[in-house]
């Protein structure tokens, strides 16, 4: 027999296939009817070849073929059923026959580790472009969640507003474990917030810190109107008030975010030292609600 039937594989064999797929960060659920899906991912290897060179794709295909061969021999002898079959010889031909628009958007590798703030910022902005265009990456979050049991190594720390429309991991098309987020209304920080950022940046060795303002911020708007003076909200208003530019909510929000950057660098010796040693890059940016775009302010 030249092919395999997913339906005839044992749970162990399905596990092997699943591991192979997971090894490349591919997002596929195994099932009897999912063969085409699996092949689409193999086709994706051809796309990867164009992007990353021959070697990567060949290795991927070789792994696929040897796994298929081994499963084929284990599966042979079981009752034949009329199902889609995959054989190593068929793989390249099938892959050639697939059209680009059949293929799901590229699946990112499991771990991204930019070494510098500049690289980290490039990754974030590339992710934001995906978000703006609605071309989000299909991350294998289940596999990544398990990998992250060993510890987190985020590559960016972000201070942003608690506003439910502002969600950095989604806005920057990131995976779990990639962005360390400190959220608070009006993206202002108190000593606990500073401690959070210190921990994220120094302890986790994050090369990029972003203060992310956003359009139509309720906290900044309230402060501009002189409201929000009840209860603990007053503490937030006091933080924002020095940045208020009368009659201009958006300019106030921008000024507020820049003030948060200054506040961090004035009050965190350890972060200031990291910036001086060029181990940390601190930027200020703004999220635009309608377009989804993040633009740089500073």
CB of 297 to Zn ion, least distance (A): 15
How many residues in the shown chain lie near Zn ion by CB under 5 A? Answer: 3
How many angstroms separate the CA atoms of 275 and 118, rounded?
13
Q: Which of 27, 108, 163, 198 binds Zn ion (CB under 5 A)?
A: 163
How many angstroms separate the CA atoms of 149 and 126, rounded?
27
Query: Which of the ranges 58-66, 90-98, 214-222, 259-267 carries the binding residues for Zn ion, by CB under 5 A?
Result: 214-222
CB of 215 to Zn ion, least distance (A): 9
Contact 157, 189 (CB under 8 A): no
Residues 142-161 as x/- pattern, contact with Zn ion by CB under 5 A: -------------------x
How many angstroms separate the CA atoms of 269 and 273, rounded?
6
4 strand-pairing partners = 86
Q: What does the DSSP 8-state code read for residue 62?
A: H
Q: What is the largest CA-CA distance in the chain?
A: 80
Structure tokens at 294: 């993040």
Residues 174-213 as x/- pattern, contact with Zn ion by CB under 5 A: ----------------------------------------
Residue 120 in the binding site for Zn ion (CB under 5 A):
no
How many angstroms separate the CA atoms of 9 and 3, rounded?
12
CB of 186 to Zn ion, least distance (A): 6
Residue 217 in the binding site for Zn ion (CB under 5 A):
yes
Nearby residues of 130 by Cβ (< 8 Å), 6 or more positions away: 136, 137, 173
Nearer to Zn ion, 44 or 252 (CB): 252
Query: Which of the ranges 31-39, 44-52, 217-225, 270-278 carries the binding residues for Zn ion, by CB under 5 A?
Result: 217-225
CB of 19 to Zn ion, least distance (A): 43
Nearer to Zn ion, 156 or 217 (CB): 217
Handedness of CA 287, 220, 197, 269 (dihedral sign): positive
Burial of 42 (0-12, 13-18, 19+ CB in 10 A): buried
Q: In the range 235-254, which residues lie near Zn ion by CB under 5 A? A: none
Nearer to Zn ion, 32 or 238 (CB): 238
The contact set with Zn ion (CB under 5 A) reads 161, 163, 217
């Amino acid at each position: 027999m030249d092919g395999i039937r997913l339906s005839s594989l044992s749970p162990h064999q399905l596990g092997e296939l699943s591991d192979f797929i997971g090894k490349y960060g591919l997002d596929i659920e195994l099932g009897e009817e999912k063969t085409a899906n699996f092949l689409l991912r193999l086709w994706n290897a051809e796309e990867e070849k164009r992007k990353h060179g021959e070697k990567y794709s060949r290795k991927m295909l070789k792994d696929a073929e040897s796994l298929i061969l081994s499963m084929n021999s284990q599966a042979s002898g079981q009752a034949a059923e009329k199902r889609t079959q995959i054989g190593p010889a068929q793989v390249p031909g099938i892959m050639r026959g697939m059209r680009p628009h059949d293929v799901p958007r590229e699946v990112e590798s499991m771990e991204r580790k930019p070494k510098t703030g500049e690289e980290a910022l490039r990754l974030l902005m590339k992710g934001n472009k995906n978000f703006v265009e609605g071309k989000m990456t299909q991350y294998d979050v289940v596999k990544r969640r398990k990998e992250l049991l060993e510890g987190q190594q985020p590559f960016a720390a972000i201070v942003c507003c608690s506003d439910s429309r502002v969600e950095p991991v989604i806005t920057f098309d990131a995976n779990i474990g990639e962005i360390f987020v400190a959220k608070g209304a009006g993206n202002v920080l108190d000593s606990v917030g500073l401690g959070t950022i210190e921990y994220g940046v120094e302890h986790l060795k994050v090369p990029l810190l972003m203060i992310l303002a956003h359009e139509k911020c309720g906290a900044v708007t309230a402060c501009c109107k002189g409201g929000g003076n009840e209860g603990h909200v007053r503490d937030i208003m006091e933080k924002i008030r020095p940045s208020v530019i009368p009659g201009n909510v958006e300019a106030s929000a921008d000024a507020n975010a820049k003030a948060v950057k200054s506040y961090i660098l004035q009050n965190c010796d350890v972060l200031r030292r990291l910036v001086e040693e060029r181990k940390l890059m601190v930027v200020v940016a703004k999220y635009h609600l309608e377009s989804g775009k993040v633009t740089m302010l500073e």
